Amino acid sequence: MSAIITHDFRVDTTEKFVDSLSSSTYYMGLGHPGSWPVDGGGVEQPPAAYENDKDMRDVWNNLVAAKILAADDGILSVPRHTWATGTTDYKAYDDANQNLEGDIYHVVDPTTYNVYICLKVGLVSGTSTQATSTVNPNTIGTPASGVSELADGYIWKYLYTIPGSVANSFLTVNYMPVPRVTSSTQDGGIFVNQWNVQQAAVDGAIYRIKVTAAGSGYSSSPTVTVIGDGSSATATAVVDSSGTIVDIEMTANGSGYVNATIEITDSSGAGAEAVAVLPPPGGFGYRAVKELRAHYATFTKSFDGHESNTIPDAFDFRQISIIKDPNDSSGAASTTTYNGCKKFTVAGSFTSGEAITGATSGAKGTIVEYTGGDLFYIQDDSTGFEPFVSGETVTGSTGNTSSLADGELELHTGNVIFVENRDPVTRGSGQIETIRLVIEF
């Protein structure tokens, strides 16, 4: 018995998740200021994050700061492949490829951020051997319709351009965004080229017929017939000097093909077989998120210093989280930023990372920040969770504790839906951190 989760399901789930930024409340959290275990060389080793209740509790216990994710802080994305000359790594889109995502069949130009999909690879003249890609598909520009065969024999189609503002927010070394465009004027018209491509897409057009058996004995080009539920697709076979078919070239792409078979007829030769590569529903360019398998979501959020004195701004963090629909003391959380630390007011000399102990309670904690008399700290398994009490002195104190408070979010409310344990990042005073997360569905 065999079963799969389809890429359509994954793309649909990713779209729903990104769209839910408008209907649910998500916060990106920074936490875990304490060190990870170290290896023999003294280097911290972030542990694997596990999907169990203890690890979720640890996220809350180590949460230092949280900032709301806006509706435009997420976008669908795919692995990034930047075009480079001199390679045979590029493969053509193939609707029957059982490992399509394992192939590099789409590329982005590194200067214009134009994105192209490969519909057919070039061949060494007179053979079935793949040729080296030497012509940047960017040379075809941003045509709304049509497919261009370049001098190296590769056939590419322009899909869309990543606008500069979108690239600045979501383009990473390994992933690139795939916008979803619903009008020519969306976001001030920055996606108009993609909109035009979507409108010009030809449903059921055939751009490639692949030879699956070369046959033998062909003295001339045999007749190639496209049989299916569309119309007007025609093609010509290319025969080498030994009488075998090495390629089939489209002379008309036709339209409307949902199913198609290829018939090769010639009295001089025999044994050649071929299959049509059919496009996704709507045709190439109609829905880029489907043909590029965009079941990744990229999220970006910037933490600007202390966010108007609402969060600590000088601490190490080693954990990034996303929390859905948490509560604060008034109910559903809605404030832009929250301080996740416990705190009290006390006079003294304290430094970030310092361990503190209450003289009366015996409570322990780790300082995240001490500023303006307010001491922000966390408690975790290493310190225990005994509460400090008002009026007691603590290590390094010259006065008594007062105004004790828990973190501003209610612990263990909502759902922790993402956790990443990572190497330490040091936040300097007034520093801006831009966090980009890529989640695969």
> Does the pLDDT value for residue 318 go beyond 90?
yes
**CA angle 319-325-328, nearest 5°?**
85
Query: Which is nearest to 246 in space by CA: 416, 413, 131?
Result: 131
Residue 383 confidence (pLDDT) above 90:
yes
Query: Could you tell me if 286 and 369 lie in one domain?
Result: no
- Give yes or no for residue 11 having a pLDDT over 90: yes
Mean pLDDT rounded to a whole number for the chain: 96
Note whether 440 and 296 are same-domain residues. yes
Please name the residues in contact with 325: beta carbons below 8 A apart, sequence gap of 6 or more.
24, 25, 26, 332, 333, 413, 414, 415
Residue 278's closest CA among 302, 253, 298? 253
Closest to 403 in 3D by CA, of 341, 346, 329, 338 = 346
pLDDT band (50, 70, 90) for residue 1: confident
Residues 62 and 131 in one domain: no
Q: Are residues 160 and 131 in the same domain?
A: yes
pLDDT at 146 over 90: no
Q: What is the pLDDT of residues 384-408, one digit of tens each?
A: 999 999 999 999 899 899 999 999 9
Residues in CB range of 440: below 8 A, 6 or more apart: 295, 296
104 pLDDT higher than 90:
yes
* One domain, residues 43 and 93: no
Instruction: For residues 110 and 142, state if they share a domain.
Output: yes
Q: For the residues 41-56, what does the mean pLDDT come to?
A: 92
Asked whether the beta carbons of 316 and 440 are under 8 A apart, the reply is no
Helix (H) or strand (E) run with residue 193 in it: helix 192-200
Number of Cβ within a 10 Å radius of residue 141: 11
- Strand-pairing partners, residue 66, are 29, 338
pTM given for the model: 0.92
Q: What is the C-alpha to C-alpha distance for residues 27 and 417, in angstroms, rounded to an integer?
A: 10
- pLDDT at position 375 is 96
pLDDT by residue (tens digit) across 232-261?
Answer: 999 999 999 999 999 999 999 999 999 999
User: Is residue 204 predicted with pLDDT exceeding 90?
Assistant: yes
434 is in which domain, residue-wise? 1-76+292-340+408-441
Pair 87, 207: CB distance under 8 Å: no
Mean pLDDT, rounded, for 93-110: 96
The C-alpha atoms of residue 361 and residue 384 are separated, in whole angstroms, by 12
Residues 114, 196 within the same domain: yes
Confidence at residue 8, expressed as pLDDT on a 0 to 100 scale: 94
Q: Which two tokens stand for residue 218?
A: 């062909």
Please report the pLDDT score of residue 347 as a whole number. 95
Q: How far apart are CA 148 and CA 254, in angstroms?
A: 16
C-alpha torsion sign, points 29, 315, 34, 367: negative
Q: Does residue 423 share a domain with residue 299? A: yes
- Residues 255 and 388 occupy one common structural domain: no
Q: List the structure tokens of 202.
A: 């030809």
Q: Are residues 301 and 413 in the same domain?
A: yes
pLDDT band at 428 (very low <50, low <70, confident <90, very high): confident
* Residue of higher predicted confidence among 3 and 67: 67
Cβ atoms of 296 and 14 closer than 8 Å: yes
User: Hey, is 136 helix, strand or coil?
Assistant: coil
Q: Give mean pLDDT, residues 77-105.
A: 97
The pLDDT score that the predictor gives to residue 216 is: 96
Q: How far apart are CA 41 and CA 35, in angstroms?
A: 14
- DSSP annotation of 71: G
> Residue 2 — very low, low, confident or very high, per pLDDT cuts 50/70/90?
confident
pLDDT at res. 429: 87
Q: What six digits make up the tokens of 141?
A: 């520009």
Residue with tokens 């869309």: 160
CA dihedral 34, 39, 43, 46 (to 10 degrees): -50
Give CA–CA dist 440/101, Å, rounded.
13
**Number of domains present in the structure of the chain:** 4
pLDDT tier at 181, thresholds 50, 70, 90:
very high
Of residues 368 and 429, more confidence is placed in: 368
Task: Indicate if 70 and 141 belong to the same structural domain.
Answer: no
Pair of tokens at residue 75: 């976008």
The residue from 222, 249, 277 where one domain ends is 277
Tokens of 3: 């079963």
My answer on whether 59 and 197 are in the same domain is no
pLDDT digits (tens, 9 = 90+) for 210-219: 999 999 999 8
